[in-house]
Structure 1
């Protein structure tokens, strides 16, 4: 059978995966804090028909003759480029201006997850939580709770949760923690705008906002998705044409094989 037939099949599979990623990116164009993914390919091993030869006294050298055996999926990357901020005016809506992730506690009570989506609110127990009800953690890894006698809550660029009390005094209830990683692209998505650390992301370094490499907090704003629709639709066209080209290769191979079969007639 023709090598090009199998190479084309691998090409179609690869571009099917690329279309899956593009479709997911476009679907999340308005998802707060979402980070778009991209697909990278690499060529597979090549069959060597003849090796290279060195130059001699009477002849020059020759290059190796190789036939490639298709394409493979090299990686699905998630660049952590920032999304544009959207002003909401809600004091508990938070955006990170710079590096870092909010730290939240998963329902098992022991595992921490990380997010760039800051659409938080205060629940009936006065805890600062995500839209799914997960506790937002402070710099020490504890849930953030505001006093019962709070008139209003404001959060400054350093992540301080400042509460105006009934008696007119102000109390800082907690300081929001931010996590940073040696390789943020190594984080693993688990849904609901959440990431967990992996062996390639490195462990979380949790610090206060607006110091060192950590970004500052903008209250009353949300970080939007970093999906670039212009780029996504361009990549969609490229993936579609590449898929069609690989399908055309299979059609041409089929016609050539049919000619071979018909040689006996």
Structure 2
């Protein structure tokens, strides 16, 4: 009967551990990237009773020593991917896990893709500020960083596209507000003066490029049947902004430019040019392959470092370390790569993976643990009553 009390105690301790696991799962049901765990039960080794003698019917009498717990196993089934609208949230749709560097420099893994860039331009976890690992444009592994990506360089204007109708009956027409960027990203405003030369050469126009009142370039534009002659449709001149080196600029009349009679009204205008002012970083996000996408104030879009992902071959190669992080227990069973390759999966942007806890299953397991605990408690109570009865009988003898 004393053995029965011990057996009941192993049940109480085992089901208490089971309750603890269920409590941890349910407490983290809203933790992004959380992976639930299950407690493993087993029976303790058996011993042969009666000093190894045969039982009443000739068989051995084997008695168990109660309940044993063998630790927990993690459930790595994917959780629901939920939209957040936050540009710095990203979720893995596949087997991959983000690589994180902890405060001691150790590599850790997580499925929680809630990130932000800190004041130093380093990508870190939003909770804890741990650094996120990736590869740069040279394929070198390191912390994802904005270094080298904070500005978009200026680009001097090379081509200015003109569109509209230049009235063939007008004697002179000036097109203003022609924007030109120099190599330093400084904007200059030029104008183009068109003088009708049809009196000597039908369909011809003298073109003078003016910086204020200073002529910086000239050329001839020839029309045939109302359309620019391809031989003169691109007028190139050299412009030297103050304090800058000379730059070659082309006025392009080859598309959507005509010259038909319309009184003195012309609609010719400069509609597009390919120069840029210098831009500063105005927005960051991720794409489905894990690249940091960069948006600049000058309208340019660039691509920065790429997030690294890790995956394991066996659940024996991973263990939880808390704070939604995992560590490798066998590096030989781990692989490192990027989204969109192998079995790492792809990334879903502006989303997070929520916990994979199945609340219905946890409640069912909770009832089982409760019943098991009650039964083990009843065994102890019954064995105690039997011992008390034995003592009572002994006292009466």
Same fold (TM over 0.5): yes
Indicate yes or no: 2:67 matched with 1:71: yes
Return the match for 1:88 from 84, 91, 97.
Answer: 84
Deviation per CA, 1:192-215: give whole Å up to 9, x if none.
11111114x745321011211111
Matched with 2:380 is: 250
**How large is the Cα RMSD of the aligned pairs?**
2.0
Q: 1:106-133 deviations in whole A, cap 9, x for unaligned?
A: 112x211110001111222222210121
Normalising to structure 2: TM-score of the pair?
A: 0.61
- The whole-number CA distance in structure 1 between the counterparts of 2:27 and 2:45 is 35
Please tell me whether residue 136 in structure 1 is matched to residue 132 in structure 2: yes
SS for the counterpart of 1:10 is helix
What's 2:304 paired with? 173
Task: Determine which structure has more spread, i.e. the larger CA radius of gyration.
Answer: 2
Distance 2:15 2:327 in 1: 28
Higher strand share: 2
Q: Match for residue 113 of structure 1?
A: 108
Deviates more, 1:140-149 or 1:84-93: 140-149
5+ long unaligned stretches in structure 1: 54-60
Contact residue 99 and residue 214 of structure 1 kept, 8 A = yes
Secondary structure of the structure 2 residue equivalent to 1:142: strand
TM-score by length of 1: 0.90
Pairing 1:27-42 to 2, within 5 Å after superposition: 27-42=27-42
Q: Secondary structure at the match of 2:284?
A: strand
Residues of 1 paired with 2:290 and 2:6: CA distance?
Answer: 55
SS where residue 154 of structure 1 aligns? strand
**Alignment partners' CA distance in 1, 2:370 and 2:3:** 23
Give the Cα–Cα distance (whole angstroms) in 2 for the partners of residues 92 and 151 of structure 1.
14
Cross-structure match for 1:150: 281
Query: Shift in Å at residue 100 of structure 1?
Result: 1.2
168-177 or 77-86: bigger deviation? 168-177
How far 1:52 sits from its partner (Å)? 10
Distance in 2 separating the partners of 1:203 and 1:105: 19
Match of 1:222 among 338, 341, 352: 352
**Paired residue for 2:94, among 92, 98, 107?**
98
